[in-house]
Structure formats: C-alpha cells, structure tokens
C-alpha cells in the first residue's frame, strides 16, 4: 500500500520558519508529482506547492510569494517544504499528496495524514 508520512509541523512564532518533510514509500517516486496542500479550520483544502521529481519542475501557489520552497531528495524518497516568514494565517494542517492533479485536491491519488502547523501572532 502506498504511504506518505509527513513530519516537521509544530508551533512557531510569526516570522519564524519550519521545514516539513514527506517520506513516500511503496511506489516509484518518479511516477508521481508530489504536492503539499493545506487546510485551515473552516476552510477548503488548498494547494501550496508541487514538484515533479522526474522533471525537476516546481509549482507554487501565488500567495506563497517566495516564502515557501519545495525540494526533493530522490534517494530518500522525501520531499521537503521550507516555509519562511510564517504568518498567523499560515496556520493549518499541511498534507502531502501524490498525483498529477495539482492544485486540485480531487486530482491527487494518495494522501498523507497531515502535520499541524500553528503560527502564533
């Protein structure tokens, strides 16, 4: 069974940084794009960033505005999301997903369980 496991969430002050990790297992890493989504309380899940590891292509939601950086370590089947200059409104559960439908959540095939990021103002 395909597995995606996120880690790295936590509590951080506004202006701080966090790096999220997503470890993928039981599928060929290069066969899927790997994306980060987030869902804040009372809001819909939204796409944050995506990387097509086989191509090295990267995509970002406009609102990330250079604050977030996605990267991958193919040898470790791991995708990272470096988040800098965090704002209170970045508070959400961040999910890792595999598939080709970014930025549409319904277009992704596999999901992790999420990691909570809380940014205190």
Which segments of 1-121 does DSSP mark as H helices, in order? none
Interval 41-84: pLDDT, tens: 999 999 999 999 788 799 999 999 899 999 999 889 999 999 99
Q: How many CB atoms lie within 10 A of CB 67?
A: 15
C-alpha–C-alpha distance, residues 101 and 32, integer Å: 10
Pairing of strands 46-52, 57-60: antiparallel
How far is it between the farthest Cα atoms of the chain?
40
Interval 77-115: pLDDT, tens: 999 999 999 999 999 999 999 999 999 999 999 999 999
């Amino acid at each position: 069974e395909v597995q995606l496991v996120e880690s790295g969430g936590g509590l951080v002050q506004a202006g701080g940084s966090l790096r999220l990790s997503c470890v993928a297992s039981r599928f060929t890493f290069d066969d899927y794009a790997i994306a980060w989504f987030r869902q804040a309380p009372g809001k819909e899940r939204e796409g944050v960033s995506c990387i097509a590891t086989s191509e090295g292509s990267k995509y970002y939601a406009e609102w990330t505005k250079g604050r977030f950086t996605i990267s991958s370590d193919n040898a470790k089947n791991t995708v990272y999301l470096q988040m800098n200059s965090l704002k209170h409104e970045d508070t959400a559960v961040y999910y890792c997903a595999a598939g080709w439908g970014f930025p549409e959540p319904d277009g992704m095939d596999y999901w992790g369980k999420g990691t909570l990021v809380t940014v205190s103002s």
